[in-house]
Amino acid sequence: MTVDERFPREYQESLEEVEQGTRSPIVTGPVSDWATDFSHLEPEWAADPYPIQDELRQRCPIAHTDRFGGGWLPVKYEDVAAIAYDTERFSSRSIIMSNFRPPANIAPIGGAPPISSDPPFHHDARKLLLPAFTKTAVAKQEAATRAFCHSLIDSFAGQEVVDAAADYAQHIPMRVIADMLGFPPEDGPQFAEFVADTLEGINLPPEERIERMGRLFSYLLAQVHDHLDNPREDLTTYLINAELYGQKLEPSHVVGSMVLLLIAGSTPRGARSAPRCGTWPGRLLTSRGWSLRLTCCRPLWRSSSAPTRRSPWRGW
């Protein structure tokens, strides 16, 4: 049995003992004005945010809300790009707009590196993950992914109607990320619950949200210990053994990156909360004019082509 002192069995308990950051009052109810009271949790936003964004571009290109402790919503490309590259005044440490604001001192690493990291640490944390996403590394997943896709299609036999999203597409990223991380494939349904808890449970009472997020971290820590006891060639073992600046990664870095990969890789297209790290292509290509803009504007691809890049959704 391999012993790694970074991950004691009571590590989860030590995380729960100290809660840093600030919590804001929960504000619910219909949006009164998208320019001054926007909420990414509203059904209208989940159903079709693009008319809302189009209207805001005309009358209020940087909207504001007092919900979630206060926040700003830039809706023009020029403003989003300016904020994303202004790393002196804007931090990526708070990538989910919620009622919890992590403390400033978790920068530059953040809670889910590298997407929550600030330069210069972000560059090195992102570079650390790149070997797992090379063409050669990803090609290793092809046979198993094809077999899983065929099994899903075979299960449709005898059905007159099939929901391509719910019955087919949403299961694939969960299975692929499970294989990459070396998690049991039958745990896929749990991943959907983790995504919902992380991205859609924002307005839950604090005690319930903490309890739900605790389930995610308990699961990941159990997987870390299983990999310590039974090492194998996968992304989890890679993170456990990886080094940065000549030292093994801090446990919070290992688990935080696992959170990012699990949530970003498993996020179904219907998830309501931003950021939806793994789903931007389908969302953008359903918007009027975005297909042409993506074709003509190469900087958009450079700034948005990987879930491990810095998030333009900042905690302001």
Tens of pLDDT, residue by residue over 257-287, are: 999 999 988 875 444 444 433 333 333 334 4
Per-residue pLDDT, averaged over 203-226, amounts to 93
CA distance 213 to 227: 21
CA distances from 172 to 90, 154, 296 (A): 35, 14, 30
Per-residue pLDDT, averaged over 217-243, amounts to 94
**Residue 13: its pLDDT value, please?**
52
pLDDT band at 159 (very low <50, low <70, confident <90, very high): very high
**Residue 276: its pLDDT value, please?**
39
CATH code of the domain occupying 11-139+170-304: 1.10.630.10
**Is the separation of the CB atoms in 171 and 267 below 8 Å?**
no
Element (H, E) at 175: helix 171-181
- Cβ neighbours of residue 251 closer than 8 Å, sequence gap 6 or more: 6, 7, 11
Per-residue pLDDT, averaged over 172-184, amounts to 92
8: its two tokens: 């004691």
Per-residue pLDDT, averaged over 222-243, amounts to 94
Per-residue pLDDT, averaged over 302-313, amounts to 43
pLDDT in tens, 66-101: 999 999 999 999 999 999 999 999 999 988 899 998
Amino acid present at 116? S
Nearest CA among 125, 80, 69, 72 for reference residue 102: 69
Q: Over pLDDT 90: what percentage of the chain?
A: 66
pLDDT in tens, 99-142: 998 898 899 999 999 999 999 999 999 999 999 999 999 999 99
**Residue 6: its pLDDT value, please?**
87
**Residue 213: its pLDDT value, please?**
92
pLDDT in tens, 24-45: 999 999 999 999 999 999 999 9
- The residue ranges of every structural domain in the chain are 11-139+170-304
Residue 232 pLDDT > 90: yes
Q: What is the pTM of this model?
A: 0.79
DSSP code of residue 134: S
